[in-house]
């Protein structure tokens, strides 16, 4: 499935930008209501910052440039890493609590999407606390936002980065063997996974637990019961309890029907350490949001700072809105058009200023044909002998702007 993008090589419908702007405004408004403050990061970042941080963006996907001094830079491939670095390095108080959000473009190149190197992400990052309450509220924020956008049928899939990692710790798999196994888990390819595991030197109990991972998907209560049967150590038990606590809070929010558990959810970003989640909507085969807890990422910048975040893929959201017929005409309607003769120009322009100052949308043009096609609900004409205004198909005469404004207020235009 190709993402919805605005191709610079094609004519772009102005309404597409209006849909995009309206969507972003809704997202930002919802983020604000949860106490998040907007920030931004530099478009150009040091290549070393990303290449030196383990388990993050694939180096081959970064778009590199060289500045005039010979330093290698990259176009921002990720927002979480620079935000974590900035927050960690600027800590005045250990574990200071911060809620930040952004709407920024990220740049990557991949073999799967050769023609798309830029996408817009709208995300949040919550620093300073690790608790089921914070995890659940962040997931609730993603659900609340999807509802704001008009999506009625969507699912948030929740997993935990640590559960599968605990199973892998019971093995001695090489990086190559682990990559193959991960591909089977992500594709839920149990038919090939089972014989593959049997060829490896892995305890049968661990093998059985690994094979069960892709099957641990569905309603949280049912998945929790199934997961209890493959717990091999205390750490796995604690992880399952953490997920149980998060789901209990989501039940209190009243959004349990929007949630599934997915223990086979394994994000490509290795820095995730706790709860991970992604969101799907109808008609889109890819997640429109992804996120999770990454408590250890800040340690690579010399500080310990618990953190969790997620990001919406704005282009995918727009595509979904269009596919589901949820877009409406986002353009603000024209309230007034003003036509005037040269002799009446000063009066007309002064009126336009007054109306715009009151928040009305006004078009000024001496070409009647253009005004007639503007779709304005009210047409004002300054002519040689008289001034007229047409409100609700009723034409009235006025002598000055004060009288006109009075007519407008009476007509509730």
**Which residues fall in the annotated binding site for L-histidine?**
78-80, 108, 121, 125, 271-272
Positions at the binding site:
78-80, 108, 121, 125, 271-272
User: 204-212 and 161-168 are packed helices; what angle lies between their axes, rounded to 10 degrees?
Assistant: 160
Contact 305, 298 (CB under 8 A): yes
**Side-chain-facing half-sphere of 238: CA atoms under 13 Å:** 8
Separation CA 125–CA 315 (nearest Å): 20
Separation CA 60–CA 73 (nearest Å): 14
Reduce the DSSP state of residue 132 to 3 states and report it: helix
Reduce the DSSP state of residue 221 to 3 states and report it: helix
What's the length of the chain? 413
Residue 218, φ and ψ in degrees, nearest 5: 140, -150
Q: How many CB atoms lie within 10 A of CB 299?
A: 12
Residue 251 in tokens? 């039940």
Residue 188 in tokens? 């839920």
CA nearest neighbour of 103 among 18, 31, 5: 31
**Side-chain-facing half-sphere of 34: CA atoms under 13 Å:** 25
Residue with tokens 């798999």: 173
Contact 271, 162 (CB under 8 A): no
Contact 256, 220 (CB under 8 A): yes
Residues ≥6 apart with Cβ < 8 Å to 346:
none
Contact 319, 119 (CB under 8 A): no
């Amino acid at each position: 499935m190709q993402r919805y993008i605005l191709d610079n090589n094609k004519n772009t419908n102005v309404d597409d930008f209006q849909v995009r702007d309206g969507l972003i405004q809704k997202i930002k408004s919802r983020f604000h209501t949860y106490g998040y403050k907007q920030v931004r990061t530099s478009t150009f970042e040091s290549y070393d910052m990303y290449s030196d941080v383990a388990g993050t963006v694939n180096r081959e996907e970064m778009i590199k440039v060289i500045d005039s001094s010979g330093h290698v830079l990259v176009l921002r491939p990720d927002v979480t890493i620079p935000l974590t670095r900035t927050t960690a390095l600027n800590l005045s108080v250990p574990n200071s609590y911060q809620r930040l959000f952004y709407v920024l473009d990220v740049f990557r190149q991949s073999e799967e999407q050769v023609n798309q190197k830029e996408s817009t992400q709208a995300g949040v990052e919550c620093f300073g606390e690790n608790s089921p309450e914070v995890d659940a509220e962040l997931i609730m924020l993603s659900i609340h936002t999807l509802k704001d956008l008009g999506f009625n049928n969507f699912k948030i899939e929740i997993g935990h980065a640590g559960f599968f990692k605990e199973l892998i710790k019971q093995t001695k798999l090489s990086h190559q063997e682990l990559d193959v196994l991960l591909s089977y888990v992500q594709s839920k390819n149990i038919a090939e996974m089972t014989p593959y595991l049997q060829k490896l030197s892995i305890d049968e109990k661990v093998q059985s637990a690994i094979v069960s991972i892709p099957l641990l998907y569905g309603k949280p209560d049912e998945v929790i019961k199934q997961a209890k049967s493959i717990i091999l150590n205390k750490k796995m038990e604690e992880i399952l309890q953490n997920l149980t606590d998060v789901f209990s809070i989501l039940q209190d929010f009243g959004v349990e029907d929007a949630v599934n558990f997915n223990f086979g959810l394994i994000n490509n970003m290795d820095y995730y350490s706790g709860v991970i989640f992604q969101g799907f909507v109808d008609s889109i085969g890819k997640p429109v949001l992804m996120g999770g807890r990454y408590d250890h990422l800040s340690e690579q910048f010399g500080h310990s700072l618990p953190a969790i975040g997620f990001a919406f893929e704005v282009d995918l959201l727009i595509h979904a809105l269009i596919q589901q017929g949820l877009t409406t005409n986002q353009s603000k309607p024209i309230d007034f058009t003003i036509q005037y003769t040269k002799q009446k120009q000063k009066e007309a322009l002064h009126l336009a200023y007054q109306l715009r100052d009151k928040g009305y949308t006004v078009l000024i043009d001496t070409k009647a044909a253009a005004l007639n096609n503007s779709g304005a609900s009210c047409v004002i004409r300054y002519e040689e002998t008289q001034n007229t205004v047409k409100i609700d198909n009723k034409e009235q005469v006025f002598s000055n702007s004060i009288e006109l404004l009075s007519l407008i207020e009476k007509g509730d235009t």
